[in-house]
Amino acid sequence: MPYRPTIGMEVHAQLLTRSKMFCGCSADYWAAPPNSQVCPVDLGLPGALPVINARAVEATVLTGLALNCEIASVTRFDRKNYPYPDLPKGYQISQYELPLCRNGWLEIEVDGERRRIRIRRVHLEEDTAKLTHVEGCSLLDFNRAGVPLMEIVSEPDMHSVDEVREYVTQLRSVLRYLGVNSGDMEKGAMRFEVNVSVAREGERGTKVEIKNLNSFRAVTRSLEYEIARQTRILERGGHVEQVTMGWDEDRELTFEQRSKEEAPDYRYFPDPDLPPLTLDPAWVDGLRARLPELPRAKAERYQREYGLSAYDAGVLTAERAVAEFFEAAVAAAPAGVDAKMISNWLTGELFRLMRARERSIEQVPITPRDLVALLEMVAAGRLTGASGKEVLEEMFVTGRPPAEVVAARGLAQISDEAALRPVVEKVLEENPGPLAELLAGKEPVLRFLMGQVMRATRGQANPQLAQRLLQEAAERRRRAS
Ligand code: MN
């Protein structure tokens, strides 16, 4: 029987609050000069007293509700003691026995199979200072110290790297929908730890933790590496040590950080400076009522209501702003423009432009109304598909409405017989050879002549009309001869 991995995850997510977890310093530290956003509380100076950030509690409960968790009626903050230079107090304020949320789940879908990954707990804590090691010394920036940090712990319910990738992707999407986390991994807003054991089905493996993973890629690459490493050991009849690993990003391998014997004892105890919190059920219900429609529910609705494929629905709902743009476009769509057409142009052309110019949908100056106005021209045959793409690009750059761009560029499709007939006649006169072939019944040459008409009109001829006029002109000549 083959070996299979069992994987659990811990995700640390910084909360998008204005101030830090226990003081009034700004939590938006990224662009600030080092150590410019600090005070006695986050520096851990003696006598400084922490105050709980209500918005951070709110964001954590909102997340717990979105992850189908039970919300605590009483919760508490604890001190997690360990010495490290990035922790000026010598302890981190975290939650131990009474986390804000527990016993939830997040649904994922891999290869058409839906699975619920159980969430053990979601708790609230504070981020540490940032250590930067340079040659000969280490630099400490306390701006990050005390930034609200949410920890989301899953049960070991995942059994493949694909499931893990889907889990973190879904989770990031949910957090961004809720507006509680930026999802910006390059700035460390989401950090990951995984635990993985490999065993034959029904047997128990040895759990190995991998810490300090800062991207989806680091998560999946380190898991692939670690699963292969454990499998190799087991196949040789060896036994896997219970250790904590780090991930070497450059060399792409895990390395041992500490063994089981060295596992730290954090001596958790309730923080005497902070009161236990009692959560009013009515307040929790108020937050529940504020939950937006979440990505997976939205994707299912798009498939049901608009007949979109699972793939397109997934692409449209991954980001809330994209989903909102799509829904606004559907709501504004005139007759002849359906959701499927909007989906195709949005995920095809518009996404292509966004990727090429590194823009997010928020930075695109096109309104949903202008997009469907453009699509209406294409659907009605007033604009060719190729011209439509050209117009969209100009709209993308300038934000001008489509009618204006079409007029300025003279792109309106030629659907007027009187205007197109002379062009067709001219093309036939200039191409006597192909015309003779056409008259001899060689239909394929029609495509060449169509191409000539398109060229003469810079792609603006209505293709159906051009084809009909060509055939009619040929028929007239056939009869005349
Ligand atoms: Mn933690």
- State in Å: Cα 152 to ligand 1 middle: 9
- State in Å: Cα 303 to ligand 1 middle: 38
- State in Å: Cα 141 to ligand 1 middle: 19
pLDDT in tens, 293-309: 999 999 999 999 999 99
- State in Å: Cα 227 to ligand 1 middle: 24
- State in Å: Cα 92 to ligand 1 middle: 9
Q: Give the span between the Cα atoms of 215 and 136, in whole angstroms.
A: 28
- State in Å: Cα 81 to ligand 1 middle: 12
The structural domains of the chain, ordered by start, are 3-287 (no CATH), 295-409 (no CATH), 417-480 (1.10.10.410)
Q: Torsion angle, CA of 371/372/373/378, rounded to 10 degrees?
A: 100
The pLDDT score that the predictor gives to residue 1 is: 66
- State in Å: Cα 150 to ligand 1 middle: 8
pTM of the model: 0.84
Q: Give the span between the Cα atoms of 274 and 262, in whole angstroms.
A: 31
The pLDDT score that the predictor gives to residue 118 is: 98
- State in Å: Cα 125 to ligand 1 middle: 7
Q: What mean pLDDT is predicted for residues 7-36? A: 97
- State in Å: Cα 55 to ligand 1 middle: 19
Instruction: Compute the Cα dihedral for 30, 32, 33, 37 and give only its sign.
Output: negative
Asked if residue 15 has pLDDT above 80, the reply is: yes
- Residue-wise burial string across 17-46, b where 16 or more C-beta atoms lie within 10 A, e elsewhere: bebbbbbebebebeeeebeebbeebbbbee
The DSSP call for residue 185 is: G
Burial of 101 (0-12, 13-18, 19+ CB in 10 A): buried
- State in Å: Cα 161 to ligand 1 middle: 23
Amino acid at 462: N
- State in Å: Cα 290 to ligand 1 middle: 27
- State in Å: Cα 320 to ligand 1 middle: 27
The pLDDT score that the predictor gives to residue 443 is: 83
Count how many residues are written for the chain: 481
Kindly give the pairing relationship between strand 74-75 and strand 70-71: unpaired
- State in Å: Cα 12 to ligand 1 middle: 7
**Average predicted confidence (pLDDT) for the chain:** 93
Highest mean pLDDT among 145-154, 200-209, 252-261: 145-154
- State in Å: Cα 91 to ligand 1 middle: 12
